[in-house]
């Protein structure tokens, strides 16, 4: 924007005030010369961040817009753009911006930013008209009549996004949900690009806002808009949004950076220019055609590095990066070979984003090297097409399709670019359909997963599964709200309880103290697991009396089947142990849990028996001790050892095998299950298949135990564990090292990662005993990012 750029002069007054204390001790003449030099340097550096000239003639800006479009657009017909400009100017003719300039300057500047991104004419027209429906008497129908459905939908999308209200104190906390909702609400990616251009121009003119408003808008930009620009790969916009946000959020930091970078600029430029000249010569000698230049990193990236690495600016040497741009991928790797021959690369600092592009399609080779005087610096190597994608991201590809007037650019060149685009995105299909392209692009970048984002009346964002209804929303707020719900309003209108929530809906739940609670039919229409669980919980509480009676009956039946005297084991002290173990406050709750299936009666009775036996052993007389010894000897004579190291009560010479569902190892508590024709299968007592065994099959359970000592059992036994952790590069490698160090063979590995970034790794292997397994699990728990480990229980 040659006629609209200027250096930011007014803001430098803040720097003068900040430095007044430390400069007061210097002689007046020296201070004056030094200040003027610093100010001049700062102006040069700050000129990188654009600011619009006040009161620029709109017609001059329009001429600049047309010139910018004609640089890249194959069509000479700009009548649609001209018509949009005239309509927007007429619609906004009586409006002024806070700066006092005519309002039409804002949509013109937004259109110029979009033209800089080389967007299609429909997008630029929508940029010119993006405020007319919201701020003037013009309607969507009029826009459709004048410019067609495509432009009308783009303007409508921007208008809807403009209605999102962000609460200043919640933006930081809910930024990720807000970003996802923002993306999900835009049915066309071009809507996002218009909104980003709108925000960029607003940030350039933020100095006319109040300090509180400046901070609020800058925080919003930092947390929502800049990350979206990065996700779409548009570094051209992302870099400027970051720098402008830093300028208003932390002005002292920003101006301190500006000053320090300006003061050492000549020294660094000399260093980088030396590298550039040297690289140019070697690249040319190798016969590679390349463009080599040095660039200063933007302020925000320098600030992030200072914070993350806890360094001062003097300790950060790679403030500049050298960029090599070549014609082909082959030349990229050839240039890398030349560079690594010239300088010593720093281990672990090489990244190949060509072979493995970032999710936003960014491609480059990055390598950090040691310079001639020991100073580290970064080099990026990419093709011209990759450079274009790095700067413009998604916006880079609109130029590659047919224009609305049907004209095409050179066919062969067009097809080559399309082939390159398919190669990046790995799509083997025709890309001429613009809507299909947008839909595929959205799904490929996972811009919005299968979720819907909506507001509470207080402005909080709720993230629910797609297809959710007001019942899901009510239970996401609180179970009491769901249980007392009698209706709902969406965007101020009453709706049915099965209304499907849309992105951006504002939902209010109507409750009543006279509500009888949820209906069982609700379980058929809710989508979220949270809502289903809370509804089921309500029914458990409501039917507690019935479940208590059912639980007692099940306890009686189990004791009769096993020949257990129930009155002996249901003593208060024994019952208290069970209540403590399972987290219940009273015995009726334990009975209710058995009644609705949350607990198995066998679990409770076995624990009561354990406590009963402990007490009776302490109270035994001498005669009883002798009788017990005789009984034990008799039982041992009835037990038989199998080759597997398992002792089974009352059965001789029986085939014993280990259940694959729970993989017991020596040291585990076990139980046998008599199978039909296949001997006895050994399970762990906590195996879900044993816990949930039907009552009629429990008679086939038989006591089993390992031989007297785990050391008596030889051989290795299969085991399986699940490891849960935050996904990161190298997590599986770090875990595998532990197995290698302990000489444990891994039989199988299965890994998957959820959309929330949680990795689940299932590993099967062989161990000698429970002690070895516990030691292994303990060691894995120490690995960075590991959250939890559990054994497979069926």
Cβ atoms of 788 and 742 within 8 Å: the answer is no
Q: What is the DSSP string of 431-458?
A: ---HHHHHHHHHHHTTSS-SEEEEE-TT
* φ and ψ of 639, to 5 deg: -90, 150
Q: Which two tokens stand for residue 554?
A: 């099940």
Nearest 5°: the CA angle 441, 444, 447 is 80
C-alpha to C-alpha distance for 470 and 459, rounded to whole angstroms: 16
Cβ atoms of 198 and 130 within 8 Å: the answer is yes
Catalytic residue among 134, 169, 176, 790: 134
Collapsed DSSP state (helix, strand, coil) of residue 777? helix
β-strand pairing of 320-326 with 376-383: parallel
Cβ atoms of 385 and 421 within 8 Å: the answer is no
Give the dihedral of Cα atoms 464, 470, 476, 478; nearest 10 deg: 180
Cβ atoms of 574 and 566 within 8 Å: the answer is no
Collapsed DSSP state (helix, strand, coil) of residue 502? coil
Q: Is 784 a catalytic residue?
A: no
Orientation angle between helical segments 121-129 and 149-162, nearest 10 degrees = 50
C-alpha to C-alpha distance for 746 and 765, rounded to whole angstroms: 5
Catalytic residue among 35, 53, 135, 269: 135
595 Cβ partners below 8 Å, 6+ apart? 546, 547, 548, 549, 550, 551, 554
C-alpha to C-alpha distance for 9 and 30, rounded to whole angstroms: 22
748 Cβ partners below 8 Å, 6+ apart? 762, 763, 764
Cβ atoms of 518 and 482 within 8 Å: the answer is yes
Which residues on neighbouring strands pair with residue 383, listed in sequence order?
Answer: 326
Nearest 5°: the CA angle 502, 504, 506 is 95
Among candidate residues 581, 589, 579, 591, the one with its CA nearest the CA of residue 554:
591
Collapsed DSSP state (helix, strand, coil) of residue 54? coil
Q: Is 134 a catalytic residue?
A: yes
200 Cβ partners below 8 Å, 6+ apart? 113, 237, 240, 241
Positions marked active-site: 134-135
């Amino acid at each position: 924007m040659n006629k609209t750029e200027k250096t930011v002069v007014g803001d430098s007054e803040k720097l003068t005030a900040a430095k007044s204390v430390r400069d007061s001790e210097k002689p007046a003449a020296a201070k004056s010369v030094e200040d003027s030099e610093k100010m001049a340097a700062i102006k040069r550096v700050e000129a990188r961040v654009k600011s619009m000239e006040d009161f620029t003639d709109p017609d001059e800006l329009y001429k600049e817009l047309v010139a910018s479009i004609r640089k890249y657009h194959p069509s000479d017909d700009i009548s649609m753009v001209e018509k949009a400009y005239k309509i927007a100017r007429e619609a906004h003719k009586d409006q002024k911006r806070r700066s006092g300039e005519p309002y039409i300057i804002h949509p013109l500047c937004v259109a110029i930013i979009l033209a800089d991104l080389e967007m299609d004419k429909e997008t630029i027209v929508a940029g010119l008209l993006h405020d007319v429906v919201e701020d003037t008497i013009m309607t969507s129908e009029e826009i459709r009549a004048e410019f067609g459905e495509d432009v009308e939908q783009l303007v409508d999308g921007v208008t809807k996004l403009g209605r999102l209200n962000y609460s200043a104190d919640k933006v930081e906390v809910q930024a990720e949900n807000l970003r996802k909702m923002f993306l999900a609400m835009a049915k066309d990616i071009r809507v996002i690009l218009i909104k980003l251009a709108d925000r960029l121009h607003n940030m350039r003119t933020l100095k006319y806002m109040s300090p509180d408003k400046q901070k609020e808008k800058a925080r919003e930009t930092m947390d929502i808009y800049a990350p979206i620009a990065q996700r779409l790969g548009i570094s051209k916009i992302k870099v400027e949004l970051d720098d402008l946000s830093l300028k208003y959020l932390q002005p002292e930091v920003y101006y301190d950076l500006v000053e320090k970078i300006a003061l050492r600029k000549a020294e660094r430029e000399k260093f980088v220019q030396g590298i550039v000249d040297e690289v140019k010569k070697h690249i040319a000698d190798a016969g590679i055609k390349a463009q080599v230049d040095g660039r200063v990193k933007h302020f925000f990236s320098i600030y992030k590095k200072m914070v993350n690495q806890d360094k001062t600016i003097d300790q950060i040497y790679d403030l500049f990066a050298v960029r090599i741009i070549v014609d082909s991928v082959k030349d990229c790797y050839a240039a890398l070979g030349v560079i690594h021959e010239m300088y010593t690369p720093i281990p672990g600092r090489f990244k190949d984003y060509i072979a493995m592009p970032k999710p936003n399609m960014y491609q480059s080779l990055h390598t950090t090297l040691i310079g001639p005087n020991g100073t580290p610096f970064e080099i990026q190597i990419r093709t011209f097409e990759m450079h274009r994608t790095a700067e413009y991201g998604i916006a880079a590809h609109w130029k590659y399709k047919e224009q609305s007037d049907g004209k095409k650019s050179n066919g062969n060149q067009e097809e080559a670019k399309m082939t390159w685009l398919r190669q990046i995105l790995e799509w083997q299909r025709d890309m001429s359909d613009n809507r299909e392209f947008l839909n595929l692009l959205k799904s490929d970048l996972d811009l919005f997963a299968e979720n819907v984002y909506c507001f509470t009346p207080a402005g909080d964002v709720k993230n629910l599964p797609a297809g959710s209804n007001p019942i899901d929303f009510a239970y996401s707020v609180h179970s009491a709200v769901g249980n007392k719900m009698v209706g709902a309003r969406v965007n101020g209108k009453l709706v049915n309880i099965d209304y499907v929530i849309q992105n951006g809906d504002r939902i209010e739940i109507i409750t009543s103290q006279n509500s009888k609670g949820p209906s069982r039919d609700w379980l058929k229409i809710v989508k979220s697991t949270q809502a289903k669980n809370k509804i089921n919980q309500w029914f458990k509480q409501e039917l507690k009396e019935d479940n208590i009676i059912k639980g007692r009956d099940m306890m009686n039946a189990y004791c009769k089947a096993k020949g257990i005297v129930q009155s002996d084991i249901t003593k208060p002290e024994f019952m208290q142990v069970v209540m403590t173990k399972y987290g219940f406050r009273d015995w009726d709750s334990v009975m209710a849990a058995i009644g609705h299936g949350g607990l198995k009666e066998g679990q409770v009775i076995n624990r009561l028996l354990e406590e009963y036996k402990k007490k009776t052993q302490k109270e035994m007389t001498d005669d009883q001790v002798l009788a017990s010894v005789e009984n034990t000897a008799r039982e041992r004579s009835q037990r038989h050892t199998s080759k597997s190291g398992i002792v089974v009560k009352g059965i001789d010479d029986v085939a014993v095998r280990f259940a694959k569902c729970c993989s017991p190892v020596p040291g585990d508590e076990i139980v046998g299950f008599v199978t039909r024709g296949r001997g006895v299968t050994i399970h762990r007592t906590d195996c879900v298949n044993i816990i949930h065994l039907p009552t009629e099959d429990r008679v086939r359970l038989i006591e089993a135990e390992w031989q007297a000592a785990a050391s008596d059992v030889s051989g290795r036994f299969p085991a399986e564990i699940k490891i849960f952790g935050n996904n990161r590069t190298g997590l599986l490698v770090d875990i595998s090292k532990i197995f290698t160090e302990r000489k444990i063979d891994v039989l199988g590995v299965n890994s998957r990662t959820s959309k929330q970034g949680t990795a689940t790794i299932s590993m099967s292997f062989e161990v000698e005993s429970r002690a070895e397994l516990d030691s292994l699990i303990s060691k894995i728990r120490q690995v960075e990012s590991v959250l939890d480990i559990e054994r497979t229980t069926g």
